[in-house]
Chains A and B, each alone.
Chain A
């Protein structure tokens, strides 16, 4: 065990911090879930890409820096610590990219990864359907082969970034007689495909955060299948581990928020305002849980660098960070007291609304707890 930062890590952190401080937007930009904000965030993705800081953990040939896991965690700490905007490309970068790296052909890698890194293609996930949420294997959208194309019919919903995204990565049923996990295929669909109709859905605060997608005889090239026809479930699940664990929400994000939370209390103390001892206790607890997530991740990273793999253990992290995020923002709102409802410029309120979705997306926490119980602890399925 050696927790002293190596000189190259100190240097890397410094380089990262300098670049972000020089290049990050100087004024806040609009929510990425509005059309205007989406395009502003896309421009920020391009700035990151041009500076070589969009996808540091990727190979250099796709615009990355070949960073190892430790460097990537440092980058994430610095990224969120800098107060730079959220990543509108995140769903593609953390959910689709690992799949393309693992299962994509080299042609697909060359075709899809660079524009994903530069923000030219922003991706949305098209997995959930009206009758297939937690029970993902119940999806009904079909993609029937017709020559060099599939003809896609069906409906996807709760599709984050789906209203404005350029591409959708979908799970579809390529064998209409199949049931459950069989006969599913991982298919990449251009959002401008003829017959694809998008309707925005206002989320809790009214912002069009997601969309429902209607596929009416959409023709999609067979070249857009990732990992082979009928292997969609395996392909989707193989990378679900890293999605729920390390890559989707890294500790740096929560460390930055916990830092802002403690700064808020420190300011209150400096102004001579009374801080309720219960809230002080809660803030300390948030800080501790944030550090717990950080060190659990570094422990995991050391294992991964030694060749271990994350399996169902990723579900432990998903429950932990999503509930931490919610508590963190709820604590901030409690500190704001009666003014917490005022929405103008209230980042804590926006953050709270976003955090409320955490225990639901990427597999509800009930599903995650089942996975922990059955596949980590080995309790009987039935």
Chain B
């Protein structure tokens, strides 16, 4: 019994954090979000080279043979950097599904030649306008690979989403891939990003309220502001462990789908609540400047809003927990 990350996992996280800081600064996020750049330059190739894209594929399929516990802090960092590309959908959902099915689409996904998103829920597809393939749920328990589709653009409050209303031109079933597992992975990966977004919003707001003066004092010295931000910190403190615990549950097939599903839903419910609170607290404590398009805070605010609801909001996941508890 040891609930801690290894030194290697921490180093991997630090490396990726630095990589995001270099290659995916707020200017790059903004350019992508506004549609000025088709991709974040150099990012996908760097993620392929360092192994993030191939993390969840087994070694004998050309992957790194890592598991969700190894990847979870990376996805958290993706939230922290507001990485706008469909990294979670690709690395955490599509790659392991393609690997389980032995699909030909796996290899280009591992090398970064292709980008694959997933379509597990009804409604518009994230990055449906950008990717080369889609791992789609086509039946109750069936995933399929889609390589040809029509996508009608839909604008999101968060421009990074590149939503497409997608109509498939046919699909190839991914026999051997587990649709429920894929969905749990998407929920888990989204929860991790929520934690990262919340951490970034908090850091940015602590920095801002320390520098900004009103009535001759830093606004962060006022108790009302302090208590807003303490509550944001408390929300993160008690949501993150559920996300890490759920990563463990997803990485352990022997635990069974019920435990996994309940743990993943607990994680998402808590992470959605934490990021909602962070968005509200960050905006309120920034005041008017946080409400402007020019100021970078909006990039994280909007990511928080959409990820809080993506793959199920807190209420939907609490409902799933309630069902698993027999209430």
List the interface of chain A (C-beta within 8 A of B): 1-6, 9, 70, 262, 265-266, 269, 275, 280-281, 283-285, 287-289, 291-293, 295-296, 298-299, 301-303, 306, 313, 316, 319-320, 366, 368-370, 372-374, 376-382
Q: Which of B114-122, B127-135, B216-224 contacts A (4 or more CB under 8 A)?
A: B216-224
Chain B's interface size range is 35 or more
- Determine the residue in chain B with the shortest Cβ distance to A280: B322
B49: interface (CB < 8 Å): no
How distant is A244 from chain B, measured CB to nearest CB, in Å?
13
- Contact indicator B220/A380 (Cβ below 8 Å): yes
Residue pair B269, A301 in contact (C-beta under 8 Å): no
In Å, the complex CA distance between A370 and B223 comes to: 7
User: Contact partner of A379 among B2, B229, B239, B327, CB < 8 A?
Assistant: B229
B248 touches A3 (CB 8 A): yes
Which one of A303, A369, A379 lies within 8 Å of B221 (CB-CB)?
A379
A284 to B1 CA separation, bound complex (whole angstroms): 26
In the complex, the answer to whether A3 meets B3 with C-beta atoms within 8 Å is: yes
What are 25 inter-chain pairs, A to B, with CB distance below 8 A? A1-B3, A3-B1, A6-B1, A70-B1, A265-B327, A269-B326, A280-B319, A280-B327, A281-B318, A284-B321, A284-B322, A287-B266, A288-B266, A292-B238, A292-B266, A293-B238, A295-B3, A302-B3, A306-B4, A313-B237, A316-B237, A320-B237, A366-B223, A372-B230, A373-B226
Q: Is B227 a contact of A373 with CB atoms below 8 Å?
A: yes
Q: Does B113 contact A (CB under 8 A)?
A: no
Q: Does B179 contact A (CB under 8 A)?
A: no
Establish whether residues B1 and A283, one from each chain, have CB atoms under 8 Å apart when the complex forms.
no
B245 interface contact, C-beta 8 A: yes
What residue of chain B has the Cβ atom nearest to residue A301's Cβ? B3
**Complex contact A379–B266 (CB within 8 A):** no
Which of B6, B202, B242, B319 meets A295, CB within 8 Å?
A: B242
Interchain CB contact under 8 A, B238 and A320: yes
User: Which residue, of A3, A289, A292, A293, has the highest number of chain B Cβ atoms within 10 A?
Assistant: A292
Given contacts A275-B327, A320-B234, contact A292 B244 (CB under 8 A): no
The verdict on B270 contacting chain A, using a C-beta distance below 8 Å, is yes
Kindly list chain B residues whose C-beta atoms are within 8 Å of the C-beta of A369. Answer: 226-227, 230-231
B241–A379 touching, CB < 8 Å: no
With contacts A295-B241, A366-B227 taken as known, whether A1 is within 8 angstroms of B5 at the C-beta atoms is yes
CB-defined contacts of B240 to chain A, threshold 8 Å: 296
Closest 10 CB pairs of A and B: A373-B226, A295-B241, A302-B4, A372-B230, A369-B230, A284-B322, A292-B238, A284-B318, A298-B3, A379-B220
Q: Is the CB of B2 within 8 A of A288?
A: no
B3 touches A283 (CB 8 A): no
| Contact A292-B242, Cβ < 8 Å, known A269-B326, A280-B322 | yes
Does B325 sit within 8 A of A, measured CB to CB? yes
Whole-angstrom distance from the CB of B96 to the nearest CB of chain A? Answer: 19
The residue from A5, A319, A376, A379 contacting B210, defined by CB atoms under 8 A apart: A379
B279 CB-CB contact with A under 8 Å: no
B318–A285 contact, CB under 8 A? yes
Instruction: Contact check, A285 vs B269: say whether CB atoms are below 8 A apart.
Output: yes
